[in-house]
Amino acid sequence: MNSHNFFNETAKDLVQKLIKVDPDERLGAKDDLQKDGYLAIRSHKFFEPLKGRWDDLDKEEPPRIGPYTKCSNNEELRSDLIGSGRDPLENMPDDIEPGLDERQMSRLLGLALHDEEERPASLKAQQSHRHILDITEREFTERLKEQAAKHPYHPFVDNNLIVYEGLLDKRVGLFARRRMFLLTTGPHLYYVDPVNKVLKGQVPLTPETKVEGKNFQNFFIHTPNRTYYLEDPSSGAKDWCQTIDDVLRYSFHSNST
């Protein structure tokens, strides 16, 4: 089934007339801009709801854009719903927004961090009041066994227990690469190419490693030989800084004292 079968016919007609190869054939090309503006475009059926209100367009309430439904591009079904006084989006939860957020992108890549009932023990641990590395030997064994059986990134962490994880953009110069970062016991911080499922490297965590937050999304990890510039698209940079800093202090400074 072709994707254009789901394209609203009125919108498709407008787009096809606007993208003619010959610019002289495009909708509005022959309009007198000084006299009427783009009259041909404004008169198109797609803009009928705006008829007579163009001058006050900036004051209009934007229409609600909902996720795709089976009536979205079926004009007959949609008109039946509206004619009956029912809003096609009336049963749509208020918290659902169009587009893809970070969690949805993760699911499309097969990187879902799981729903609450399936969430890895590594993420459950951070919700408790105890330290993220305060793990008994028995608990470590049980969680590692579950991780080995269910977690798609277990093969990349040398049989260490993942205690914190997430997608980050790793910047080098002007370029950024999205990587799955895995903070584990040891401590270690591995990063993996989430698309090709390849281990790309490891950020050295030593007593000299320092974490520096820049804003909601960006933070640095300073190591003796290199500084890593990382960006969290979900604005969780503060959580990453706090977690890594806690792990460094627990692993090195508390032990030394």
**Final residue belonging to a domain, choices 63, 84, 113:** 63
User: Residue holding tokens 């007579």?
Assistant: 52
In a domain, 172, yes or no: yes
142 with 218, same domain?
yes
Instruction: Judge whether 85 lies within some domain.
Output: no
58 and 108 co-located in one domain = no
The verdict on pTM exceeding 0.75 is no
Per-residue exposure over 211-242, b if at least 16 CB sit within 10 Å of its own CB, e if not: bebeeebbbebeeeeeebebbbeeebbebbbe
- The percent of residues in the chain predicted with pLDDT above 70, rounded, is 69
Distance CA 30, CA 14 (A): 16
Shared-domain flag, residues 56 and 170: no
Residue 72 lies in a domain: no
Residues 153, 215, single domain; the answer is yes
Per DSSP, the three-state class of 212 is strand
Q: How many domains does the chain have?
A: 2
Same domain, 112 and 57: no
pLDDT tens string 129-164: 567 788 888 989 999 999 999 999 999 999 999 999
Which CATH number does the domain housing residue 213 bear?
Answer: 2.30.29.30
- Residues 139, 251: one domain? yes
Q: Which two tokens stand for residue 108?
A: 């499309």
The sign of the torsion formed by the CA atoms of 98, 100, 102, 103 equals positive
Question: 195: domain range?
Answer: 103-256
Kindly report each contact of residues 166-170 with a partner whose C-beta sits within 8 Å and lies 24 or more positions away, as own/partner: 166/113, 166/232, 166/234, 166/236, 166/240, 167/102, 167/106, 167/111, 167/194, 167/233, 167/234, 168/230, 168/231, 168/232, 168/240, 169/230, 169/231, 169/232, 169/233, 170/228, 170/229, 170/230
Task: Tell me, yes or no, whether 110 and 229 share the same domain.
Answer: yes
Assess if residue 80 is contained within a domain.
Answer: no
Which residues are CB-neighbours of 28 under 8 A, at least 6 positions away? Answer: 18, 38, 39, 40, 41
The pLDDT tens digits of the residues spanning 51-105 come to 777 777 777 777 665 554 444 445 544 444 444 444 444 445 555 555 555 555 5
252 in any annotated domain: yes
**CA 156 – CA 137 distance, rounded (Å):** 22
Instruction: Note whether residue 188 is domain-resident.
Output: yes
Do residue 109 and residue 196 come from a single domain?
yes
User: Same structural domain for residues 116 and 12?
Assistant: no
User: Are the beta carbons of 206 and 252 closer than 8 angstroms?
Assistant: yes
